[in-house]
């Protein structure tokens, strides 16, 4: 009996040792990439994923002797319950060292608690509602926030003779943020909001909402809908009701003139003024190299957009953390490296505000123009070093 107990204890100790040994001998760093690979936002996620792939192709898949292993998971769209379950499985079963991705706000918000409980750094590659970074001390954002890009747009409008604006936004976090930021900055600068409407996130029929804009006869409109299928549908409805190419000034965040879909939107987008953190036409050596490599990797018909840059920079951040920690990823040390991290992105210089773990970057004002027969977001003004103004 005693012998049996001793043997059982011995086995348990051996199992423990093996377990510990296995953890120490871990020769890969697993990254759980949660995206909307299928469903209405699949193209957005493809761009983010391409950014991830390109960074890894350019920098090799090994950092500090550890292989970077991407484990991809599909939320199938805006599905917070699915996103949360996937995050839980990735940390408990797959033992990922990072959670990353998140094209949509509801999915990022749902996974935030998992990052906190499991103490796993979570790298946001797109989701852009201001509040996301406040939901876990383990979140750092490498994309943008809606208030960050919207305030410069509102200020530009007020300075450039626009006095009355009608606001149309998507009825969820990023849209609410964009609406609040535009209204605050524009009215503070003396402008008037003449009407507002919010469109559903799922299957919006824009013609009804566009009719409301038409009835209000505003001088200008400010738009935010999430990139993907909605901007094209919105502009089509506006064109059908005669609002594009008319006297109406059309302002938006760059989500609405995303480089990925701008050519599908066609001439309806011409002359639109937008604000955003990235245009594929951004004039810098880093961006020229990025666009060339992206086009070579994924074909000339696919343009890199802000989503691709979010994936690329988010992956750069993970590599930089792995390098700094010599391949041993401790969560709190990883967060310390992320806080204050700065580097040159294809979009321009970026840094992570150590106080909020949110991104600080240049916001560009752009006009949709035809350049060599191509529709392009041409940057013509900028505000440097913009923090997220939306934090409570």
Start-to-end CA span in the chain (Å): 65
Of the ranges 24-32, 103-111, 236-244, 380-388, which one interacts with ligand PHB (CB under 6 A)?
A: 103-111
Which two tokens mark 68?
């970077």
Size of the site for ligand PHB (CB under 6 A): 11
Of the ranges 102-110, 179-187, 274-282, 315-323, which one interacts with ligand PHB (CB under 6 A)?
A: 102-110
- Asked whether the beta carbons of 196 and 221 are under 8 A apart, the reply is no
Cβ closer to ligand PHB: 104 or 337? 104
Q: Is 310 in the site for ligand PHB (CB under 6 A)?
A: no
State the nearest-atom distance from the C-beta of 163 to ligand PHB, in Å: 28
Q: Output the CA torsion sign for 225, 157, 381, 150.
A: negative
State the nearest-atom distance from the C-beta of 126 to ligand PHB, in Å: 6
Site for ligand PHB in 239-278 (CB under 6 A): 255
- Distance separating alpha carbons of residues 358 and 375, to the nearest angstrom: 31
Q: Is 104 in the site for ligand PHB (CB under 6 A)?
A: yes
Among 227, 232, 257, 361, binds ligand PHB (CB under 6 A): 227
State the nearest-atom distance from the C-beta of 272 to ligand PHB, in Å: 15
Of the ranges 68-76, 89-97, 100-108, 285-293, which one interacts with ligand PHB (CB under 6 A)?
A: 100-108
Q: Which residue has the tokens 């936004």?
A: 169
State the nearest-atom distance from the C-beta of 139 to ligand PHB, in Å: 13
SS3 content of the chain, % helix, strand, coil (to 5): 45, 25, 30
DSSP state of 142: S
Q: Is 226 in the site for ligand PHB (CB under 6 A)?
A: yes
- Distance separating alpha carbons of residues 12 and 20, to the nearest angstrom: 12
CA distances from 74 to 44, 45, 372 (A): 13, 9, 38
Task: Identify which of 134, 130, 104, 153 has the alpha carbon closest to the alpha carbon of residue 389.
Answer: 130
State the nearest-atom distance from the C-beta of 258 to ligand PHB, in Å: 7
State the nearest-atom distance from the C-beta of 201 to ligand PHB, in Å: 8
DSSP state string for 218-231: -SEEEEE--SSSHH
Calculate ∠ Cα 257-287-285, nearest 5°: 145
Cβ closer to ligand PHB: 103 or 348? 103
Cβ closer to ligand PHB: 129 or 136? 129
Per-residue interface string for the shown chain with ligand PHB, residues 332-371, x marking contact by CB under 6 A: ----------------------------------------
Site for ligand PHB in 116-155 (CB under 6 A): 126-129
Among 105, 150, 229, 279, binds ligand PHB (CB under 6 A): 105
- Distance separating alpha carbons of residues 137 and 201, to the nearest angstrom: 28
- Asked whether the beta carbons of 145 and 358 are under 8 A apart, the reply is yes
- Region of 352 please: left (phi>0), alpha (psi -120 to 50) or beta: beta
State the nearest-atom distance from the C-beta of 174 to ligand PHB, in Å: 4
State the nearest-atom distance from the C-beta of 127 to ligand PHB, in Å: 4
Site for ligand PHB in 165-184 (CB under 6 A): 174
- Distance separating alpha carbons of residues 221 and 161, to the nearest angstrom: 13
Residues that bind ligand PHB (CB under 6 A): 103-105, 126-129, 174, 226-227, 255
């Amino acid at each position: 009996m005693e012998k049996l107990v001793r043997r059982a204890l011995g086995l348990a100790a051996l199992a423990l040792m093996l377990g510990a040994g296995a953890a120490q001998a871990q020769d890969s760093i697993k990254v759980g990439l949660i995206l909307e690979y299928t469903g209405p936002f699949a193209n957005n996620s493809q761009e983010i994923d391409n950014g991830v792939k390109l960074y890894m192709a350019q920098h090799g898949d090994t950092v500090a002797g550890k292989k970077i292993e991407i484990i991809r998971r599909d939320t199938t769209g805006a599905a917070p319950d699915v996103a949360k379950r996937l995050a839980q499985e990735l940390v408990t079963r797959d033992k990922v060292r990072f959670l990353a991705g998140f094209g949509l706000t509801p999915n990022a918000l749902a996974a935030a608690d998992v990052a906190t409980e499991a103490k796993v750094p979570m790298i946001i590659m797109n989701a852009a509602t201001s509040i996301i970074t406040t939901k876990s001390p383990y979140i750092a954002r490498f994309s943008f926030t809606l208030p960050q890009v919207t305030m410069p747009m509102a200020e530009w409008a007020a300075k450039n003779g626009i006095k009355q604006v009608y606001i149309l936004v998507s009825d969820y976090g990023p849209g609410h943020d964009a609406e609040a930021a535009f209204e605050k900055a524009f009215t503070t600068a003396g402008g008037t909001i003449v009407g507002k409407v919010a469109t559903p996130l799922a299957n919006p029929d824009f013609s009804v909402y566009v009719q409301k804009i038409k009835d209000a006869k505003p001088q200008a409109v400010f738009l935010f809908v999430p990139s993907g299928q909605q901007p094209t549908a919105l502009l089509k409805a506006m064109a059908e009701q005669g609002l594009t190419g008319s006297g109406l000034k059309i302002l938006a965040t760059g989500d609405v003139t995303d480089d990925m879909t701008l050519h599908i939107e066609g001439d309806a987008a011409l002359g639109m003024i937008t604000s955003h953190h990235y245009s594929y036409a951004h004039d810098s050596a880093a961006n020229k190299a990025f666009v060339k490599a992206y086009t070579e990797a994924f074909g000339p018909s696919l343009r890199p957009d802000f989503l691709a840059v979010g994936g690329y920079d988010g992956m750069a951040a993970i590599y930089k953390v792995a390098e700094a920690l010599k391949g041993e990823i401790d969560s709190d040390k990883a967060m310390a490296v992320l806080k204050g991290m700065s580097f040159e992105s294809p979009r321009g210089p970026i840094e992570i505000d150590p106080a909020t773990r949110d991104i600080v970057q240049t916001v560009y004002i752009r006009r949709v123009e035809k350049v060599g027969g191509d529709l392009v977001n041409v940057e013509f003004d900028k505000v440097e070093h913009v923090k997220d103004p939306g934090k409570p």
